[in-house]
Amino acid sequence: MPTKTTVDPSSTQSSLITLKLAALPQSQSTSLSTTEFPSAPLPAVELQGLKNLGCGRCGNILLKCDGGQTGGPIQRVVDLPSEHWQELVDCWMCHEEDFTELREGDLGARLGQALVGGTYVLIHATNVDIEAVEIEEDARTIDWTKGIKRRWRPLACSRCLYPIGDGWYQSRREDGTDLELIQVKFHKYAVRFQSDQSINDERTQLEVPKQRFASYVAAEIFESARHHATYRFILQDRLTGQDIMLIWMLNWDSTVFSNQAPMQDNQIVWDTSLLSDLQVDIDINSTSDRVRSNKVMKVLYLSEDESQRQEGSVSKEAALWDRWRGDPGVERLQFHKHLLLGLLIMLEQSTSCLPPILSGAAPAVLAMDGMRMGSIVI
């Protein structure tokens, strides 16, 4: 029952009604603690029985066939530690020994093993069908004569050229013409997971339900916030390093109910990877309206726009970009540009769902240096 009900006094014609509702006692609430961030989508426990991986766009099989063996190419699926585990090595090592290799090395999957990170799955190169992947075109111009001889290079599906992950390559020659693939990091949001599970004592191959791309962006933000207490981020194109948008996390434990119809005219049909982000979660049929209920992370966001810089003057938005780019406390997160542009459209749609008093009538309350308020479904 509402404890207080008021009508917007700004206009006698206003249809905006404000309701203040009493919260349930803590013992009756099933929500997560506000001090604990949600876990990343598809941890190892949900990928047990992993049979194979397929390209997220065309379904091209990415791992080698099992050759008639039971269990498939992947025999063991385990979670990786935090992305920031190397920062803790000095705390773990309390005696005088040489742990240089541990400090500088990368955790790698063994043959038949899948290591599950927050946004990716790491597979040994021997288990990968080399003919099914190739280095993305934009990444082939690299000087292997300088620096280390092992590098991560972006990978694409060889059938449809859809970006699916990164390959850990070692150069056998100085000119980099003879590359050896060591590990492959498949992005969870870019592939399909095929799982071999037992149903009614029969082994059945199933496709693990696809998770929202926005949930993986949120997982990266949570990871940085948990370990670095960082709440400001620049989201970049992973191929070119181009800055796409600024994100400032406000809070993550909000629930949004909306009866706004999903995008129609401007539906993101140019990338099927975002279809799961556009799906309606809950339909409440008590009325004719379709109501969506989503757990969201509230953010302030700002897209990069070259028009912000006019000749002879710098807008407040451009000045904010300059400050964030020069601030070492701002984290950089990299994803595919086409997915970030889709995320930006969905953020703009979430902004349009805000009541007028929040989105238009009083922008100074919720906006800062041109940033807008939006929400990311987690």
Could you read off the pLDDT tens digit of each residue along the chain, which spans 378 residues?
Answer: 556 666 655 555 566 666 666 666 655 445 544 557 888 899 999 998 888 999 998 999 999 876 444 446 888 999 988 766 555 655 666 665 555 555 445 678 889 999 999 999 999 999 999 999 998 876 556 666 666 677 888 999 999 999 999 999 887 766 556 788 999 999 999 999 988 765 455 555 678 888 889 999 999 999 888 888 889 999 999 888 899 999 999 988 888 877 766 555 455 555 667 777 776 544 444 444 567 778 889 999 999 875 565 555 678 888 899 999 999 999 999 999 989 998 998 898 888 877 665 544 444 445 577 888 899 988
* DSSP assigned state of 141: -
Q: 305 and 191 in one domain?
A: no
Tokens of 295: 């757990």
Which pLDDT score is estimated for 236?
95
Determine how β-strand 232-237 pairs with β-strand 243-258: antiparallel
Q: 325 and 233 in one domain?
A: yes
Q: 234 and 203 in one domain?
A: no
Picking from 164, 204, 175, 207, the residue whose alpha carbon sits closest to that of residue 339 is 164
Q: 198 and 323 in one domain?
A: no
How wide is the angle at C-alpha 158 spanned by C-alphas 154 and 163, nearest 5°?
Answer: 35
Query: Measured between alpha carbons, how far is 310 from 312 in angstroms, rounded to an integer?
Result: 6
Which pLDDT score is estimated for 20?
67
Q: 52 and 114 in one domain?
A: yes
Does residue 39 sit within a domain?
A: no
Q: 130 and 91 in one domain?
A: yes
Alpha carbon distances (Å) from 17 to 6, 257, 360 = 6, 15, 16
Do the beta carbons of residue 368 and residue 288 sit within 8 Å? no
Q: 250 and 125 in one domain?
A: no
